[in-house]
C-alpha cells in the first residue's frame, strides 16, 4: 500500500446561512497516492463541498485535513494556494477554455501562476497535450473540437504541473456516453502512470470505472 496523499479526518462543513446548512458530516476519507477513487451521490448530497475541501478551495468547519502529510488547516491562504498550484489538478464539468486561443495556448496559459519554470513551460505543455492524445490538434481553437476533445484539453491543462492528485467534479456531465468513455480511459491511463485520481459524479457507470467507490448521501460518506 502506498502512503496516503489525502487524509480527511472527521471533517464537517457547515455554511452559516441562515439557515445553517451542514453539507458534510464528520467525513473521514483516506486516499492513497496510487488510488483511483470515485465519489458518487445524488445532486445536493455534498459532492462539490467535499471536492472544494479536498482541493483546498475551502476550509473545513471542524476536523483535520492532511494533504501529502501536511496539516492544511494550519496553513495561511498563500500556503494553501501554493500547495494547490503545485500538487492538485482540477477538471470541472464545464471546460473553461479560452475560445480565441489555441489548444496549446490554453494549456500554456494555465502555467503562468503554477510555479512551472518559464523555460520548461512549452515543453511541459506539449507533453501534457501528447498525454491526452491531442498533439494533432494543438493549433486548433476550442470551437473546432468535439466536447470530448475539449475536456481532454482541460485535462492537459490540469496535469501540466504533474500534480499528485487530479480532482474531477462531474467531468463527464456535458459529454455523451462515447466521449465520456474516452475521458474515463484517460483518467485510467493517468492513474496507471502514477497520479491519484478522484472523480466526483452522480453517474453510476462513471463511478464504477474507479477501483474504489465512496458513496455520499445527505452529506454522509460511506464506502461499499
Ligand atoms: P452536490 O455537488 O452533491 O450537488 P453540493 O456540495 O453543491 O452538492 O451541496 C450540498 C448542500 O450544501 C446543498 O444542500 C447545498 O444547497 C448546500 N450548499 C453548498 N454550497 C453552499 C453555500 N456556499 N452556502 C450555503 N449552502 C451551500
Ligand atoms: Mg456538485
pLDDT at 94 over 80: yes
In the predicted structure, residue 113 carries a pLDDT above the cut 90: no
Q: Can you tell me the distance from the alpha carbon of 98 to that of 95, in angstroms, rounded to the nearest whole number?
A: 9
Ligand 1: nearest atom to the Cα of 216? 3
Q: What single string gives the DSSP state of each residue in 15-68?
A: E--SSPEEEEEEEEEEEETT-EEEEE--TTSSHHHHHHHHTTSS--SEEEEEET
CA 59/CA 52 separation, integer angstroms? 8
Query: Domain limits of the chain?
Result: 34-57+81-223
Q: Is the pLDDT at 112 greater than 80, yes or no?
A: no
Q: Answer yes or no: is pLDDT of 132 > 90.
A: yes
For residues 195-222, give the mean pLDDT: 93
Name which residue sits closest to atom 18 of ligand 1, judged by CA: 23
In terms of pLDDT, which residue wins out, 134 or 17? 134
Residue 2 exposure: Cα atoms within 13 Å on the Cβ side? 13
Q: Is the pLDDT of residue 224 over 70?
A: no
**Ligand in nearest proximity to the CA of 92:** 2
Q: Does domain 34-57+81-223 have CATH number 3.40.50.300?
A: yes
Residues with C-beta less than 6 Å from any ligand 1 atom = 15, 21, 23, 41, 43-49
The 10s digit of each residue's pLDDT in 164-187 is 999 999 999 888 888 888 899 999
Which pTM value belongs to this model? 0.93
| Whether residue 118 has pLDDT greater than 90 | no
Tell me how many degrees the CA angle 15-21-22 measures, rounded to the nearest 5: 90
pLDDT of residue 223: 78
**Which of 14, 20, 23, 169 to mutate to test ligand 1, by most ligand atoms within 8 A of the CB atom?**
23
Average pLDDT taken over every residue of the chain:
92
Give the closest residue (by CA) to ligand 1 atom 12. Answer: 23
Residue 57 phi/psi, 5° resolution?
Answer: -90, -15
CA-closest residue to ligand 1 atom 7: 48
Digit-coded pLDDT (tens) for 142-154: 999 999 999 999 9
Per-residue pLDDT band for 210 (boundaries 50, 70, 90) equals very high
Question: Across the chain, where does the E strand assignment appear?
Answer: 4-15, 21-32, 36-40, 62-67, 70-71, 88-92, 165-169, 196-201, 212-217, 220-223
Cα of 108 from ligand 1 centre, angstroms: 32
Amino acid at each position: 500500500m502506498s502512503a496516503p496523499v489525502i487524509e480527511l479526518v472527521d471533517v464537517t462543513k457547515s455554511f452559516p446561512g441562515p439557515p445553517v446548512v451542514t453539507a458534510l458530516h464528520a467525513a473521514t476519507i483516506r486516499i492513497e497516492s496510487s488510488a483511483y477513487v470515485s465519489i458518487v451521490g445524488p445532486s445536493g448530497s455534498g459532492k462539490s463541498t467535499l471536492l472544494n475541501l479536498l482541493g483546498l478551495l475551502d476550509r473545513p468547519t471542524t476536523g483535520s485535513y492532511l494533504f501529502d502529510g501536511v496539516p492544511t488547516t494550519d496553513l495561511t491562504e498563500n500556503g494553501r494556494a501554493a500547495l494547490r498550484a503545485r500538487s492538485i489538478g482540477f477538471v470541472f464539468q464545464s471546460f473553461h477554455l479560452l475560445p480565441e486561443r489555441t489548444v496549446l495556448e490554453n494549456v500554456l496559459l494555465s502555467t503562468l501562476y503554477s510555479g512551472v519554470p518559464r523555460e520548461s513551460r512549452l515543453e511541459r505543455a506539449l507533453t501534457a497535450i501528447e498525454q491526452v492524445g491531442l498533439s494533432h490538434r494543438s493549433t486548433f481553437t476550442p470551437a473546432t473540437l468535439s466536447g470530448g476533445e475539449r475536456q481532454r484539453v482541460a485535462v492537459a491543462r490540469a496535469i501540466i504541473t504533474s500534480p499528485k492528485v487530479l480532482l474531477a467534479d462531474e467531468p463527464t456531465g456535458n459529454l455523451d456516453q462515447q466521449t465520456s468513455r474516452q475521458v474515463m480511459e484517460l483518467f485510467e491511463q493517468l492513474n496507471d502512470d502514477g497520479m491519484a485520481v478522484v472523480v466526483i459524479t452522480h453517474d453510476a457507470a462513471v463511478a464504477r470505472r474507479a477501483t474504489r467507490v465512496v458513496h455520499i448521501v445527505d452529506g454522509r460518506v460511506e464506502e461499499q
